[in-house]
Each structure stands twice: as C-alpha cells, then as structure tokens.
C-alpha cells in the first residue's frame, strides 16, 4: 500500500430509529450515498448503531430492562443476513469502505460487533468488543482475540475498537503492531455529558499520536424526543445528553476538521498517508522506539468456542463465517505478509 496516497474519510453522527432495524438501516444507506457524493472512500458509523445502542441499560435497573432487552434481540443483526447484504451492496456501488457498529445476534447471545466492508462489498472483518463496559455486561457477551486484527482495504490498513476498549492499552497495541494506517473508533454518544466528549477527545488524539495513524471517530446522537421515550425522569434524562465527539485526527494528533459535538451530520477530511511516515520518523512505537527484548505482547488470537474436538472427534464449527475474512486472509490476498510474520513484538505466551 503506497504511503503517497490521500484517502477521503467521513465520520458520521446520526440518531438511530428506535422503531426498528429497517429505519436505522435506511439512515445508514442514505448516509453512505451522501458520503460518496462528497467523494468519501471510507465511512465510519457509531457504536452498535444498528438497530441502536442500548441506552435503556444505562438508566434502567436490570429488573426493569427485560422488555427492552428482548426487543433488542428481535431487532438485532444476524451476520450474514439482510442488513449485511444491503450494506455490502451499497459499499460496492460506491466503492466505499464501511465500518459499521451493530448489535449482533448469535443464537441466544448479543454482541457489540464492528463490521468492516471493503470497497468491493466484501465483509472483511467481524469483531466483537472484548469486554463490554459496566451496564453493557448485562446486554452483550464478550468478544475474543480473533477480532484484534488489522485488515487491508481499498482505503488502507484499517483497525477498529469500540469505546472503552481504547482504555485497554494492550488491545490498542495489538493493532499498532500490525501497522494500522487508519484507526476507526466508535462510541455511543449522547451519554454522561460533556465529560464524555472530553474523554473521547483525549483518547482519540492520544491513540493517533501513539500509533502514528489517522483516527476516524464516530459517535451517536439522540433527539430530545428519543431521550424522553427512554425515561421520563428529568434527572436520568440528563445522563443521556452530551458526550458526542465525531472527529478525524491526524497522526500528529491534530483535528483535520472541526469536530461535530451535537446534532446529526458528518465530518469529512482528506487523509494524507505520507503524514504517517512523518510521525513515525520521530517515534514508531512498534519499531525503532520499541524494546521488544524488554517489553512484548502475547496475543491469543484463537476464536473462543463452547466446544472443540478431542481424541480425533470432530465438532461442527458454528462460529466461523466463510464470507467473513478472519485473521490474515485479506492481507495475504492483497500481497501483504501474514500479520504475525516478522513482528518481533508479538510473541506467543511462554509455555
């Protein structure tokens, strides 16, 4: 992948449709049309945007959340399925790379999942948030190390994490060792208040500086009517306002355009990949600035499975999706070496 390229990226801030998956999906497709009309080659949507982030779980106790949780099950996204097919077709039509957050349903469990579609429409990454945060643990299951992968796309080498996964420095480092060029981060937005937006600001700018990559960050937005539909308590409604910071940051830690802090819309900026080398010339955290003989990272990239074969028996693999590029397949197909090859700082755990 040439470093003398300029990629136009769009970070999209939208309100979901609480009435159902189809309404939110339509907003995704319409936003892709708009972003493509602006010349975007990469579009990033908020965390679990389809059908919506489970805001109810933040302000309601578990004993009162059963109906909302079941409704989320009914509207969640099956991968692959109608939602992924629609987004795939729109990505292919526009030749645009799409990073979309969904509530994924896998039989009896829900997951906070990030989907990456390449510009030819292929679903090249499906990763699940490794540790849901606080109230989210009542809603989603845990992801595993198989999703800590950077994938080669038409826009460059893309990595993704959701929300407070960015507070796990080893998860970020796992992507840094794979030389991500564009990091796509997603947050729910419309939560906690201005302090959440401030925390996002610190988080994405720090990762851009430390990784030496671009960060394209998207947060969600709730209207007053939506907030009132979640809770009638004015005190709890305050917990569902603010916290939006949709932004695009350069490897030097600078905003390329002013961030979007409220309302629906998108921010669009050109990413000059040459700035990555400019930054890493001074500080390459996984290269000349690393000390792998002193500090290194062990990663278990095996997919977590509830059953596995022993003594020659075979168990059908129900977790692997052939149409989803797990691991290194996309990188090898693009002429890149396997992710583990030649990366001294990624080492297997000691016996």
Residues designated catalytic:
47, 129, 163
CB atoms within 10 A of CB 13: 27
Q: What's the burial of 308, exposed, middle or buried (CB within 10 Å: 0-12/13-18/19+)?
A: exposed
Q: Which residues contact 137 (CB under 8 A, 6 or more apart)?
A: none
Q: How far apart are CA 195 and CA 201, in angstroms?
A: 10
Distance CA 50, CA 298 (A): 33
Order across the sheet with 182-187: list the strands: 151-153, 156-162, 182-187, 214-219, 247-249
Spatial separation of the C-alpha atoms in residues 287 and 133, rounded to whole Å: 32
User: Judging by beta carbons within 10 Å of its beta carbon (0-12, 13-18, 19+), is residue 204 exposed, middle or buried?
Assistant: buried
């Amino acid at each position: 992948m040439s470093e003398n390229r300029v990629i136009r990226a769009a970070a999209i801030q939208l309100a979901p449709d609480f009435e159902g998956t189809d309404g939110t999906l339509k907003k995704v497709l319409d936003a892709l049309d708009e972003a493509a009309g602006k010349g975007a080659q990469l579009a990033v949507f908020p965390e679990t945007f389809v059908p919506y982030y489970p805001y109810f779980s933040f302000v309601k106790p578990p004993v009162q959340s059963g109906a909302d949780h079941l409704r989320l099950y009914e509207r969640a996204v099956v991968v692959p399925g109608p939602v992924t097919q629609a987004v795939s077709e729109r990505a292919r039509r526009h030749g645009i790379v799409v990073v979309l957050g969904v509530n994924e349903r896998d039989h009896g469990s829900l997951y906070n999942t990030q989907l990456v579609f390449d510009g030819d429409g292929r679903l090249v990454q499906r990763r699940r948030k490794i540790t849901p945060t606080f109230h989210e643990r009542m809603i989603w299951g845990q992801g595993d190390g198989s999703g800590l992968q950077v994938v080669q796309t038409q826009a460059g080498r893309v990595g993704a994490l959701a929300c407070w996964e960015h507070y796990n420095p080893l998860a970020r480092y796992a992507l840094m060792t794979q030389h991500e060029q564009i990091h796509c981060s997603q947050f729910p937005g419309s939560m906690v208040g201005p302090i959440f937006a401030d925390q996002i600001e610190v988080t994405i700018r720090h990762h851009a500086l430390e990784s030496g990559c671009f960060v394209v960050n998207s947060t969600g937005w709730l209207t007053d009517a939506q907030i009132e539909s979640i809770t009638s308590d004015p005190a709890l409604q305050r917990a569902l306002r603010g916290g939006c910071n949709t932004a695009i940051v350069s490897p030097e830690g600078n905003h390329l355009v002013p961030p979007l802090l409220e309302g629906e819309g998108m921010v669009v900026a050109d990413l000059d990949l040459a700035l990555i080398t400019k930054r890493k010339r001074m500080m390459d955290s996984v290269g000349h600035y690393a000390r792998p003989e002193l500090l290194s990272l062990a990663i278990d990239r095996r997919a977590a499975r509830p059953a596995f074969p022993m003594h020659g028996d075979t168990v059908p693999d129900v977790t692997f999706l052939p149409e989803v590029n797990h691991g290194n397949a996309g990188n090898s197909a693009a002429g890149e070496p396997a992710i583990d090859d030649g990366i001294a700082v990624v080492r297997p755990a000691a016996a």
